[in-house]
Structure 1
Amino acid sequence: MAVYTLVSTESLSAFLQGYAVGELVSAKGIAEGVENTNYLVDTTAGRFILTLYEKRVAAGDLPYFMALLDHLAAAGLPVPRAIRGSDGVAIRALEGRPACLIEFLPGVSLSQPTRAQARAAGVSLGQLHRAAEDFPEVRANSMGADQWRPLFERCGRGLDAVEPGLHDTLAEELDRVLAAWDPALPRSTIHADLFPDNVLMRGDAVSGLIDFYFACTDSRAFDLAIMHTAWSFDATGTHGDWAIGQALIDGYQQSIQLTGEERAAFQALCEGACIRFLLSRAWDWLNTPADALVTRKDPLAYWRRLQTYKNQGSLFA
């Protein structure tokens, strides 16, 4: 989440007239994240999230995301559905951007999850994959393995502004990981971005799974690997805790047992996840507008993770 587009009180009040949500009381921009513009909106009828979709999210993909959230909610998962207006429409225009008013879910995101919380999050990911088994729609992964080299090339020598020598060393790692990539692993609809800040907790229980705007069809074990890289380290990527990662895996396997092929590929999947987020963070680091209310994330935190996985060996006992 972030704020790239400023929304005036007058525009927001007019926007809310299309919904049965009462009158605007307050709105506050949310700086965390890097993808879309988000506001916490309070009205006389309750609390909501307003999301304006920026350039990385294609307007044509929005019906897919809305349909997926409706599908998962119908299966009992705690996901935020889009509020439909009095005319039944969920996606509208605001300040020149596609926009949605979305359910607010209670709970807090964690910076230092415990093993119990990681296990609960792993359970939720397995439940998500199970619930999505009969979801009929398909979306290619816009940040999948086939997109990493083109993104690397777009970043170009700018990577050396992030860290001297990063361009050449990352090129070598990219070649190595892509050579080991297995495209034949079991696939499903995946979240593809289930960081701790996209999981809301109340105590040790998951109360919300949010930010589905990278959801797509890809390797389900890659989804778990993304979580492993995000949950098993501190924010700097310096200190790892494999017990947290194991708790994620154990929780996930309450719903879905990893195959032998997925286990064998899991280290490469984690290394690929590191490259994927290193590249997207580097692109944002180099291209975020100076006046955007955005908390930029350190690309090198994922370079450090990549080196740890490279030297770790098997992640399974």
Structure 2
Amino acid sequence: MAVYTDVQDEALRAFLADYDLGELMAFRGIAEGVENSNYALKTTRGDWILTLYEKRVDPAELPWFLGLMRHLAGSGLDCPEPVAGRDGEALRELAGRPAAICTFLPGVWPRRVRPAHCAPLGSALAALHVAGEGFFAERPNALGPAGWAPLLDGCRASGDSVRPGLIAELDTHLSGILAGWPAPGTLPRGHIHADLFPDNVFFLDGPDGQPRVSGVIDFYFACTDLLAYDIAVCLNAWCFEADFSFNATKARAILGAYAAVRPLTAAERAALPVLCRGAAIRFLLTRLFDWTHTPPGALVTRKDPLDYLRRLRFFAAADGEQALGL
């Protein structure tokens, strides 16, 4: 469910009057996603995406997100570009919510990740990191290492109802991750997507029949942090099979294609195992918090936190960077 705020036809037409996008022909809600309300628009000037930002997004941070997307699109990355109205502003209000229109990107996200998807993903991730270098405003990672202990504390009362002994196991994992986390200044930093799951990457078939990335979407967890942490997120999200076995072929494809665009430093390679553990516990904790705090009947779709416990255990047992495909 991804339409939390209904938009009436009359209100939408009044909203579009502030843009030079032609006449409205059709609009419909988009069922995918969990954070915001999204609509597909068709006008006489083309196809667009309308997003209404819901309560989990801080309106004060929206100019940063939209500014980053505009910068990345202007630097050649295939990502949504915010559309300015006639007054030059991209951020407006509709149905009592902050709202923006972005360009439409063709393609579909892979319901089943194949090795052929992974090299294009690695190239696109590196291109994102390189393109972000000229965007100078920063946004701290609110879901980085400093936020993990508070998240875990918020789950103590009911976390063991998900799995007996879960909180004690996570305490042990988190202590080890924080002790081994790279010291400030030791790894390259920049703007990262921080949520580059398969449903946030669109693909089309290229002339050779192989998939190519046609769009990177959903930048509303983007922030300024370790570039290699973004790689670790992708290794968690793209390289595990249905039985939770780690596919090193996929990992090698991501890492090799990434390094062909932006070579990794020796320190980044050495840090990848702990960064992967950190990415695993980050998604485990946010899922666990939602699982234990979302009331029955709420519109937010809960995701199983134990999926990331299995990933965390794999990375904790992995013997160095070689186990990750390096």
Q: What's the TM-score once normalised by structure 2's chain length? A: 0.90
- 3-state SS of 2:113 partner: coil
Identity of aligned residues (%): 48
Q: Give the match for residue 212 of structure 2.
A: 205
Q: CA deviation at 1:126?
A: 0.9
AA partner of residue 77 (structure 2):
L
Q: Give the match for residue 280 of structure 1.
A: 286
The within-5 A match list for 1:1-317 is 2-183=2-183, 184-203=186-205, 204-234=211-241, 238-288=244-294, 290-291=296-297, 293-316=299-322, 317=326
Aligned mates of 1:156, 1:21 — CA distance in 2: 50
Aligned mates of 1:160, 1:35 — CA distance in 2: 26
Q: 1:45 to 1:113 in 2, by over 3 A?
A: same
Q: Deviations over 1:225-259 (max 9, x none)?
A: 1011100014x572321111111000100112111
Q: CA deviation at 1:294?
A: 4.6
Query: Is 1:3–1:294's contact at 8 Å kept on the other side of the alignment?
Result: no
Q: Which moved more, 1:266-275 or 1:166-175?
A: 166-175
Q: 1:137 to 1:44 in 2, by over 3 A?
A: same
Q: Which moved more, 1:142-151 or 1:156-165?
A: 156-165
Q: How many residues align?
A: 316
Q: Deviations over 1:120-157 (max 9, x none)?
A: 11011111111112221111011111111111122332
Query: Is 1:3–1:293's contact at 8 Å kept on the other side of the alignment?
Result: no
Aligned mates of 1:289, 1:198 — CA distance in 2: 27
Q: Which moved more, 1:147-156 or 1:250-259?
A: 147-156
Q: 1:52 to 1:246 in 2, by over 3 A?
A: same
Aligned mates of 2:74, 2:191 — CA distance in 1: 16
Aligned mates of 1:290, 1:8 — CA distance in 2: 28
Q: Which moved more, 1:9-18 or 1:193-202?
A: 9-18
Structure 1 vs Structure 2 CA RMSD: 2.0
Mark the runs of 5 or more structure 2 residues left unpaired by the alignment: 206-210
Query: Is 2:123–2:257's contact at 8 Å kept on the other side of the alignment?
Result: yes
Q: CA deviation at 1:2?
A: 2.4
Q: CA deviation at 1:13?
A: 3.0
Query: Is 2:270–2:321's contact at 8 Å kept on the other side of the alignment?
Result: no
Q: CA deviation at 1:61?
A: 1.1
Aligned mates of 1:237, 1:281 — CA distance in 2: 19
Q: 1:140 to 1:147 in 2, by over 3 A?
A: same
Greater RCO (Cα-Cα under 8 Å, separation 6 or more): 1
Q: What's the TM-score once normalised by structure 1's chain length? A: 0.92
Q: Deviations over 1:177-213 (max 9, x none)?
A: 1111113321111111111111111121111011111
Aligned mates of 1:80, 1:244 — CA distance in 2: 26
Query: Is 2:19–2:86's contact at 8 Å kept on the other side of the alignment?
Result: yes
Q: CA deviation at 1:292?
A: 5.1
